Structure 1
């Protein structure tokens, strides 16, 4: 941990005011020396000029760390002003160097240290940020950084394993976001309501169940999340606009038993859907149920219709729906 704490001191704590990159450069060089890399021994180059093919263009990364015996490039270090937040433009610049030199790892140093990866695990357009390390003493992430990038302990296999673990965490976070988004969606709320109705309809008449849930509000939200302003106003009785308190469209079946209704629908392949609007209008549609089979979910099938989805039926001012085998 001592070497990491030294990096914190020289690269952050000791710098009291903003300084330009050219003044930060010798400080970062000292940081590389703390990690065991030495310019005199040929371990790294400072702002080397690399020609791009036969063109006049060239690349000048801040530091290229090498294996002194073979000259093999190991990773590139790009530095930015230590008191200015790192930007996506900085990341793109580092990514360009990594691509040109075919390097799997790159380090961006500014107000913090960022590690980037561009090996075969990366499918993104640019190198992917796999670790962000704050300059805080006794930081376990910092200690791990020292272990990975010190000359004495530098090992490509360990770096690859680190990248692999990091990508697994990144993918898990993305999957968690997708799951959370689905759970919090209105469509998923419909799924939950259908499960509730299906459970209760095995014990009670489904029309009675539908009548009861008309006055029940189902909420799915993150823990400790704030109530949206619109809902807060509604609950405080000071909202003058229109808001719908019911989360599920009341659906009545005829015959009322879901089991009996399903049996008859499988036989007739036709049902009649009557829509009741709040202004007193009614409209009837014929349900051609040729694709409906024994494994089909009856209420889920009905609620999946665009007009009956949560949010849509409220906007259309639908009050309830009657689905009948009889015309």
Structure 2
């Protein structure tokens, strides 16, 4: 997978360094997916396809990767939203990707611009059932980024599956949530520890004859 990532890095970094237009960037990203085995000729890679929604509306994802399911039908696996390589991602662009994901009934989406991000829609989120999808992997466009190899492993056509991506996303989300809880607990602990230390110092100084008013004044600085 390292060789595949180095090829993809070579293509994307050239685009970034030369500030190519979005249309050119999309063509080069399609070439990156071809390195991983996706093809327009067999409909596993679809580009700018208009998908009807109801009678009057439609969506047009930049790329949709598709694969044959167990019934022999070609079905969408992931939607891809592409922006210029010098883009700074914003909320509106995220919502555009989320719209593609939900209309295509997909749990996964890829944003590719100044970086690559894999989004996951955790539909079993009981705490917040209407929560937006969250990024579970970020790949910086660097030849040394280990997530580049992970990306290639997940999205190489022959071994790519919804189950494999789902398992990765669940584990990544679990790690992310554990890290968030750890930071919260550490913050709580440090705050409590600071108060405890102040109380110990205050008691010690009181025992040495200093006034409480003076001690409290100094502790505020």
Question: Using a 3 Å threshold, how does the CA distance of structure 1 residues 3 and 210 change in structure 2: closer, same or farther?
Answer: same
Matches within 5 A, 1:1-327: 1-54=2-55, 56-68=56-68, 69-122=72-125, 123=128, 125-185=131-191, 189-192=194-197, 196=200, 209=204, 211-212=206-207, 244-246=217-219
State the distance in 2 between where 1:184 and 1:44 align: 51
Match of 1:273 in 2: none
Q: Deviations over 1:297-324 (max 9, x none)?
A: xxxxxxxxxxxxxxxxx9xxxxxxxxxx
Shift of 1:116: 0.3
Separation (CA, whole Å) in 2 of partners of 1:85 and 1:155: 30
Alignment partners' CA distance in 1, 2:26 and 2:194: 55
- Cα distance 1:88–1:246, how it changes in 2: closer, same or farther (>3 A)? same
Moved more, 96-105 or 152-161: 152-161
Give 5+ residue unaligned stretches, structure 2.
211-215
SS in 1 for 2:65: strand
Q: CA deviation at 1:162?
A: 1.1
Decide whether the 8 Å contact of 1:18 with 1:83 is kept in 2: yes
Question: 1:213, CA displacement in angstroms?
Answer: 7.4
Partners in 1 of 2:37 and 2:61 — Cα distance? 20
Q: Which has the higher helix share?
A: 2
The structure-2 alpha-carbon separation of the partners of 1:137 and 1:211, relative to structure 1 and needing over 3 Å to count, comes to same
Query: Counterpart of 1:85 in 2: which secondary structure?
Result: coil
Shift of 1:209: 4.5
TM-score by length of 2: 0.83
Gaps of 5+ in 1: 198-206, 216-242, 248-313, 315-327
SS of equivalent residue, structure 1 residue 244: helix
Equivalent pairs, count:
209
Q: CA deviation at 1:150?
A: 0.9
User: SS where residue 188 of structure 2 aligns?
Assistant: helix
